[in-house]
Amino acid sequence: MGQSPSAALDRESSFSHRFGFLSSSSLGSSDGFSDEILANRDFTAEIPDECLAYVFQFLGPGDRNRCSLVCKRWLCVDGWSRYRLSLDAQSEIEASLPSIFMRFDSITKLTLRCSRRSISLNDGALVAISVRCQNLTRLKLRGCREISDKGMSTFAKNSKNLRKLSCGSCTFGAKALNAVLDYCSNLEELSVKRLRGIHDGAEAIGPGTAASSLKTICLKELVNGQSFEPLVVGAKNLKALKIIHCLGDWDRVLQLIGNRNRNGKENLHLNNYNSNGNNDALMEIHLERLQVSDIGLSAISKCAKIENLHIVKTPDCSNYGLVSVAEHCKLLKKLHVDGWRTNRIGDEGLVAVAKHCPNLEELVLVGVNATHLSLGAIASNCSKLERLALCGSGTIGNTEIACIAAKCMALKKLCIKGCPISDIAIEALGSGCPSLVKIKLRKCRGVSCEAGEWLREQRGSLVINMDACEVDGGFEASVSNGGIHEVGVDYPQVVSQVVDRDASTSSNGRLALLRSKFGLFASRNFVACTFRRWSNNEDSFNGNL
């Protein structure tokens, strides 16, 4: 710490700074100083508040809390410079809310999280927060079970600047969401997960005044997914749509989306009209564990701007649908397919992708029986392919890997999991894929440790992530090495959460249907979920490989 805190310090101050620092460290306490000006000088007083706030930006909330206890000035600076706050949203917090939001008066991003064991804050508390946080742009609610439609409506009225709402495990319903969509006309992102208040016969949820502002919609684990149809179809400028494990007729919804810009009248009203005719802004679609078939995929093929497509565990989708998408969505950059080992998507669909999608950068195949026929085509034709993951497929063997090694020039990251490859495949990788930076191998029992070592020596700069070698070498061994989180813990947990004890009786039948439809394949899912975290990242591969 040899530098003076501020460039504007003159020589006199910098001298006293050094002098003062020495004397304070030998005394070791800030109490009981003599009144010598030099020794008493607070060095951080030279730093303007804005600079102090800038330093605090580098600290996490725990450290910031500690800083706030150093002195009153630091309390104050930390208070007005905190934009993000995550609160334990128990009912007992209500008494402290006025002082909390007087102290933190610049919050724009707020998380209210309540555990299952506690009673959450209620409508009154939420409204009080909305009155105090005039600049709120993002709200995340988790487990706030005491908040009702009424509370959310009043909150929405007070939160005109809201751009992002994410709610999970709450119990309000359609009225609440409609209120948000009606009052928050700048809403860009809406994420709804496990909302238990939407019963049979609930009102439809429409885009409201947010119809043109909505850019991302994510719906997860909703029994009454159908209620969201007007919302999804009506959000005309939607860029990303993610529907995961929701009941509903999604073929129909996708058809409505696909057809929505065919109407000549509507075209005239859109700002980004181009001569192609289909103006749909949709760039990203995730469909997971849904009632969707090739009809839905054909509808998606009408959205020519699609760059990112996930088709995960949708057993009614087949090669036919994938071919349709590939032929029309030539801008495709990222494709994730989890065939759930139903063998309905395979070489035929992937060859079409190879043929029509030259911009492909990322490909993830789980439980898909692809062979060197399609993988070779993709490797040759998709010259920008940088990230490839092959998982849980009995047809991906040494031939396939050799093919990839020989032809994938741009490949940077490769992951192979639970495939019947052997050391021969490793040998091929020793000299192929010239751009390869990282490789991950999991549960490939045919690959020996020695082969891994050999590869490390062959390609010094390559980062290799392999199962550690165990004497048993079985499934359990690699689980304990790779980490429990890698195994399919995700899926069974999700199913049991849908079939919840406190679900309303009217939706029990629906829940049972959901479970039986998608619970069948649970046991086969041991590799698919190991991928979910990986493939769900924003930048899918980065940092996780």
Partner 1 sequence: MGSTSTKIKLRTSDQKVFEVEKAVAVHVIHVHSVSGDILSKILDYCKKHVNSAAGKEDISPEELYEWDANFVKVDQNTLFDLILAANCLKIESLLDLTCQTEIRTTFNIKNDYTIEAEEAVRRENKWAFDMLGV
- Interface residue list for partner 1 (CB under 8 A): 20-21, 24-25, 28-31, 39-44, 60-62, 65-72, 74-75, 84-88, 93, 96, 99-100, 103, 111, 113
What tokens were used for 214?
Answer: 């909505």
Nearest CB to partner 1, comparing residues 82 and 407: 82
Q: How far is the CB of 116 from partner 1 (least distance, A)?
A: 15
Alpha helix positions (H), 237-356: 250-259, 264-269, 294-300, 319-328, 347-356
Amino acid at site 533: R
* Nearest by Cα to 325 from 344, 346, 306: 306
Nearest distance in Å: CB 529, partner 1: 21
CB count in 10 Å sphere of residue 384: 14
Single out the residue of 85, 55, 84 nearest to residue 70, CA to CA: 55
Q: Give me the least distance between CB of 97 and partner 1, in Å please.
A: 9
CA distance linking residue 414 with residue 464, whole number of Å: 10
Minimum CB distance to partner 1 smaller for 118 or for 359: 118
Least distance to partner 1, CB of residue 305, Å = 30
DSSP assignment string, 388-408: EEEES-TT--HHHHHHHHHH-
Compare residues 42 and 200 and give the one whose CB is closer to partner 1. Answer: 42
CA distance 376 to 385: 12
Residue closer to partner 1 by CB (options 59, 512) is 59
Residue 161: both structure tokens together: 């600047």
N residues, the chain: 545
Of the pair 27, 499, the CB lying nearest partner 1 is at 27
Contacts of 279 (CB under 8 A, 6+ apart): 261, 267, 270, 272, 273
Closest contact distance (angstroms) between CB of 510 and partner 1 is 32
Name every residue whose Cβ is closer than 8 Å to that of residue 501 and which is 6 or more positions away in sequence: none
Min dist CB 25 to partner 1, Å, is: 6
Q: Which is nearer to partner 1, 33 or 475 (CB)?
A: 33
What is each CA distance from 424 to 192, 236, 330, 446, 478, in whole angstroms?
47, 51, 35, 9, 21
Output the smallest distance, CB 485 to partner 1, in A. Answer: 16
CB of 543 to partner 1, least distance (A): 15
Nearest C-alpha neighbor of 416 from the set 436, 349, 538: 436
Question: For residues 67 and 511, which CB has a smaller minimum distance to partner 1 in the complex?
Answer: 67
The one-letter amino acid code at 140 reads K
Q: Which is nearer to partner 1, 75 or 499 (CB)?
A: 75
> Closer to partner 1 at the Cβ: 80 or 475?
80
**Strand pairing of 138-142 and 109-113?**
parallel
Minimum CB separation from partner 1 for residue 90, in Å? 9
Is there a contact between 142 and 169 (Cβ–Cβ < 8 Å)? Answer: yes
